[in-house]
Structure 1
Amino acid sequence: MHTSSKIYIAGHRGLVGSAILRSLKEKDYTNIITRTHAELDLLNQKAVNDFFAQEKPEYVFLAAAHVGGIGANSTYPADFIYQNMVIGFNVVEAARVNGVKKLMNLGSTCIYPKMAPQPIKEESLLTGALEPTNDAYALAKISVIKLCTAYNKQHGTNFLSVMPTNLYGLGDNYELQGSHVFPAMIRKFHEAKASGEDVVHLWGDGSPLREFLFAGDLADAVVYLMENKNAEDLRTPTGDFVNVGTGKECTIKELAETIASVVYEDVASEGRTCRMEWDSTKPNGTPRKLCDVTRLNALGWKAKTSLKEGIRIAYDDFLHGDVRK
């Protein structure tokens, strides 16, 4: 890409898309196209086709998605499989028809089998059963990866995919019923501190191991790959994609303790804190999910933001941004 290249970001208001937009602007890209959902419904195939035919973007970041945590995925599986598959297929097909030079598809490490060997290599795709609590979302994401790979093979396109681990960062969704574990914990601990409540109730037993990646680091990774790599550089036997993560993990309990330490940092001298009560009747999800980032590191990129530093940035954004819902 050149700084004057015409670039379309699908989903520029979301956690990932907004991070990509900031990264591109910081690198002095000047010809960025965005559309809100009201301006362009990505579920509408004709509208998507008309948009691409009119705007003719050279490069596309496909960050638009219908996302949510365990509760939302379990309650609305039809929405997650249908909307994510249709959004992905509409954008990828329009990109092919209109001669997009390169497309970056944003997926998720939930595509991997529940019991995949750890750390998870890209070759583990489709080698076992998925985690039931988010299999609808995962199947949609797998389909779009396979579509991009098939188009590269049949049509000679240059469509890349990345599989980021659990994300957090600026402008996250803090709505308790639909958010992921990281922003939900920030909100719960903040509200406990603000109200003087001494107990925070959390799902599961705190034992699952998870990896967390700052969204700004993900944006840096995908812009780096778009600038420097092609689909063939990411190619594996299972598709043209690569994991993006830190290669480091912690238990959900450790995450909660670290978030609590940041949230209560300003009142720690007063002896203020809270205790956690875990509801083991709620699902834990996959017991462990750690990316193998060997291939990404070999491609020349590594994550930079530590977990505690990222939590501080995210909590400050929660306090001062228009993010509390």
Structure 2
Amino acid sequence: MAKQTMLLTGGSGMVGRNILEHTWAGAWTILAPGSRELDLTDARATTDYVAAHKPDLVIHAAGQVGGIQANMAHPVAFLERNTAMGRNIIMAAYQSGVRNFLNLASTCMYPRAAENPLREEMILTGALEPTNEGYALAKITATRLCQFIRREDNAAQYKTIIPCNLFGRHDKFDPKHSHLLPAIIHKVHLAKQNGETTVEIWGDGTARREFMYAGDLADALMKGASDIDALPELMNCGLGHDHTINAYYETVADVIGWEGTFTHDLSKPVGMKQKLCAIDRQTEWAWSAPTSLRDGIKSTYEFYLNGATT
């Protein structure tokens, strides 16, 4: 039997590369065009590409991503580029008759003041976190577009997965462009390498975050791809528990073997105090993340040491 074709956007990013490395990837013919081959901000080019290849399934994992610093420095790009990419690939797929679509969203879509754990029905019930509002608005738009398509066409399996914060192999480690955990790995590694005795933490370190290993998200996405009918229309994907920022620094230091102390810069922004996903729908779907925090950090640090570019 011929393999089905998957179109994977963002194939060169962390999530995309983890999908390509997944043990089930060989069951598909996977198209993973880079931005030079397919510019998702170009609506005509995106429509033409999807119409020419007619994939059986699209996983939309592309986007302009970054941490607090990047979001605060470039809000126009985070809103405009991500909105364009989401709209263009979703509509290109639908207009070309693609029936199966997995849209990757973000927990930044939840209101800043939402009570934790964050439940899917809370989206659009309050003001967003200002430090990443542009990115959040773009992800909300793509999510709602998938839901509206399903509202008009019951046969369209346009589903959205909302992952918690991610880290892992193929991550970006430069603090100017990275998310929290890879930035911690980079900072603590340099501190050990340079013989430094202190590492600075933004804020008091009591904010809580839920970080899942990217290989585990790839596992959830491949499960969804194999049986998209059973996947909820909108589903958080996470651990169901979180840790303080201080605890992440301490675990990274333990894995790396750095024995210094941490200082806190209370003048720096820290974002939301907590972002913990409710995983009721995920549990009912019968999936849970298999990788422990320490094992995930160890694997990610090994990747970093083996020549990962910052």
TM-score in terms of structure 2 length: 0.96
Alpha-carbon distance in 2 for matches of 1:79, 1:32: 28
- Corresponding position of 1:310: 296
- 1:99-178 superposed matches below 5 A: 99-156=97-154, 157-178=156-177
Residue 53 of structure 1 contacts residue 98 of structure 1 at CA under 8 Å; is this kept in 2? yes
Alpha-carbon distance in 2 for matches of 1:78, 1:276: 34
TM-aligned CA deviation for residue 26 of structure 1: 3.8
Amino acid at match of 1:9: L
- 1:73-88 superposed matches below 5 A: 73-88=71-86
Residue 3 of structure 1 contacts residue 31 of structure 1 at CA under 8 Å; is this kept in 2? no
Residue 152 of structure 1 contacts residue 158 of structure 1 at CA under 8 Å; is this kept in 2? yes
- Corresponding position of 2:49: 51
TM-aligned CA deviation for residue 284 of structure 1: 1.2
TM-aligned CA deviation for residue 175 of structure 1: 1.7
Runs of 4+ in 1 over 4 A off after TM superposition: none
Residue 83 of structure 2 contacts residue 142 of structure 2 at CA under 8 Å; is this kept in 1? yes
- Corresponding position of 1:242: 235
- Corresponding position of 1:36: 34
- Corresponding position of 2:277: 291
Amino acid at match of 2:91: E
Residue 117 of structure 2 contacts residue 278 of structure 2 at CA under 8 Å; is this kept in 1? yes
CA RMSD of aligned residues (A): 1.4
Alpha-carbon distance in 2 for matches of 1:110, 1:14: 19
- 1:170-249 superposed matches below 5 A: 170-230=169-229, 233-234=231-232, 240-249=233-242
Alpha-carbon distance in 2 for matches of 1:193, 1:299: 43
- 1:55-66 superposed matches below 5 A: 55-66=53-64
Count of residue pairs brought into register by the alignment: 309
- Corresponding position of 1:282: 268
TM-aligned CA deviation for residue 308 of structure 1: 0.7
Q: Deviations over 1:223-243 (max 9, x none)?
A: 112212328x51xxxxx3100
TM-aligned CA deviation for residue 22 of structure 1: 1.5
How many percent identity over aligned positions? 39
- Corresponding position of 1:323: 308
TM-aligned CA deviation for residue 287 of structure 1: 0.5
Q: Deviations over 1:30-65 (max 9, x none)?
A: 411111111111111111111111111111100001
Alpha-carbon distance in 1 for matches of 2:145, 2:28: 30
Alpha-carbon distance in 2 for matches of 1:314, 1:143: 32
Amino acid at match of 1:250: H
Amino acid at match of 2:249: A
Unaligned runs of 5+ in 2: none
Amino acid at match of 2:244: T
Residue 106 of structure 2 contacts residue 163 of structure 2 at CA under 8 Å; is this kept in 1? yes
Alpha-carbon distance in 2 for matches of 1:27, 1:281: 45
More deviation, 154-163/92-101: 154-163
Task: Give the secondary structure class of the aligned counterpart of 1:297.
Answer: helix
Alpha-carbon distance in 1 for matches of 2:3, 2:24: 14
- Corresponding position of 2:67: 69
Task: Give the secondary structure class of the aligned counterpart of 1:120.
Answer: coil
TM-aligned CA deviation for residue 27 of structure 1: 4.8
- Corresponding position of 1:259: 252
Alpha-carbon distance in 1 for matches of 2:64, 2:203: 24
Amino acid at match of 2:303: D
Residue 19 of structure 2 contacts residue 25 of structure 2 at CA under 8 Å; is this kept in 1? no
